[in-house]
Structure 1
Amino acid sequence: MLTEVKIKTLKPKEKPYKLFDEKGLYLFVTPNGSKYWRYDYRYNGKRKTASFGVYPEVSLKQARQKRDEARASIRQGVDISQKKKKTEEAIYFKTIAMEWLQVRQVEIKPGHLKTIKCRLNKYILPNIGDKPLREITKSDISHIIDTLRKIGQIETARRVKQIISQVFRFAMFRDLTDKDPTIIYKLPPCTNKKHMPAILDPDKVGELLRKIESYRSYIVKNALLLLSLTFVRPFELRTAQWKEININEAVWDIPEEKTKTKVPHRVFLSRQAQEILKGLKNLTGTSPERYVFEGLRNKPISESTLNKALRSLGYNTKTEITSHGFRAMARTLIHEKLGYPPEVIEHQLAHKVPDRLGEAYNRTKFYMERKEMLQAWADYLWSLKGSSKRSSKNIK
């Protein structure tokens, strides 16, 4: 028999495989790691298979309940596969996609939600929106994905396939279908993974900071300087509110609803960061609810504002530096120039990457090391900023 512990530790193999529970219920594990509940039964002397959804959306306990309900229906002379087919015929992809989107919109950020809606309306719904779930085949999926691949939109194709798959998994969880046709469509491995451009030469970092300091907008200038000191994600910086920041205790606690990992993240404020925030508090700090980097109509500045500032300073945001590139800059130079271990840096970056002990991120781990590291990083950056006449390569 299966257990929750055993299921969680299952690893994908080169070929799909099955793990049996009891009374016909088993878990079908695919090479990409997906785990599907299946139930084998006999009806009128014929062997048939029903699907009960995807793990972990459907737990072991729920799958067993579905199996017991199916066994009861079969004893009453009902073929559960035919019953499900009739249900599928009445449900169109667009209908279930809108229901899935309504559930997802409370979990994701507005910018990402806008992107998903755009991809649905532009690439997916015009092709399969008016089709019943049961009639959507691998060929329909291939047509959508291959059209994008032919014009070089490989990453978009990957994301579109992911959206279609999530809609089908949502339908499977609700017992509205027993298949996800995207599973059998394989995209080639991504060979050109996108990396955010970043400046890694210390002398050029110093030049960048001096240019930022000369920028005309006080709000945007200090946003970029604080981004370099804290290397948080641009969204976390732009939407920072004064209620998150305690200058006296030198900490900035970013709430889980603003982080990519959905886990609260603590940023330790260096002396340089505190000075920047003290100056900004006189301008936007009149209320705890106000944004630190407030733009027009009491809204936060946009990410395009930060990248536009970098372009106006003479930088190509596609090849040289982008607002997100400050993270890569910090990760590389803190390790190479200041000698801090990767696990400390990764924790401050709020990455969900296990450390050498296999422990995932928690905001209080490496507390003292991270606090010391951010101050050392700030001192290093400010020394680069002041090194206009001598080489910064000798600064350690």
Structure 2
Amino acid sequence: MLTDTKIKSLKPKDKLYKVADRDGLYVTVSVTGTVTFRYDYRINGRRETLTIGKYGADGINLAEARERLMIARKQVSEGISPAAQKRAERNQIRNADRFCVFAEKYLADVQLAESTKALRVATYERDIKDTFGNRLMTEITTDEIRSHCEKIKERGAPSTAIFVRDLIANVYRYAIQRGHKFTNPADAIANSSIATFKKRERTLTPREIHLFFNALEETQSDFGLKKAVKFILLTLVRKGELVNAKWDEVDFKNKVWTIPAERMKAGRAHNVYLSEQAIDLIVAFQIYSEGSPYLLPGRVNRQQPIASSSLNRVIANCIKHINRNEQLIDDFTVHDLRRTGSTLLHEMGFNSDWIEKSLAHEQQGVRAVYNKAEYAQQRKEMLQHWANKVDEWIKGVDL
């Protein structure tokens, strides 16, 4: 059995040799005099050797080696290979700050509809992993991300380029939120600097929703109008439908707003199922309306609704405020909020019929003849989920 005194007395020889301790522990002495604790064992029919550590002032002592031996013997009794475990831990430390580690953890943990998650995983595998996967989180630069997105754009995929930028940003946010001291290099890249789209194609990303609605609170626009912009995003109604909305159309008990047929594009009454957040906004409208029959009365004549241009003016003023120092967000209109809702709800995996009914879009052809379903319960649950998700994005969660 070994003692510290005996180990210190061991001298190097012409070739490596072993000296046994107890319980399977032994030391090897190299030709240079290095003394190393080791343990041989059998597991699953094979022989393995665990290198426990080097002896000495810059290593471990005999007592520490025996403690580690006991842990290793317990692992073997449980069918765990101590050597394989040690390699895995060493690799984990070596790769701890690599982008691929955080990206794969983020993709595993993020709570999204299966179709949305599958899109993110596929985009990571196709457009990010080979370029940044093995890079350290600290060495990836803003210029590299921008250059990579430009290459994707040049192949004719501007939407994918923006999606890649947002996905990289999300991975960094995921790591930072868990205590890692990284700087997010993607935050310095505005989506508009990668690609812009025709107005009829404009949809907001979750990151833009976060940016816009936080900035909206800082602007000097009318209180009721600022709330109205969010209300349209939550309910997906048309601008004119909200501008002309009256209090006698709202059923607070059943949380539904029924827009009469004469104000609907298709000439049929439309039920808007109100989320808890939408109800809160309507309560705010009550204070704002001061006894007017309209949810959003005009500033001069409270017996008339606001001007049709008011909401787009609020949006334009907020965008101007956001872009006062640099271009961070592209222009959009009230109608683009409906398109945003439709696009993101589809990405979340919700049924197209529920979404189209919520938008009051009329189906065409044979399907329109047979599908008369209202999908009331499904739409209620979907719009509540949508409102919750919008609130998360505004707070900066899961962008």
TM, length-normalised to structure 1: 0.45
TM, length-normalised to structure 2: 0.45
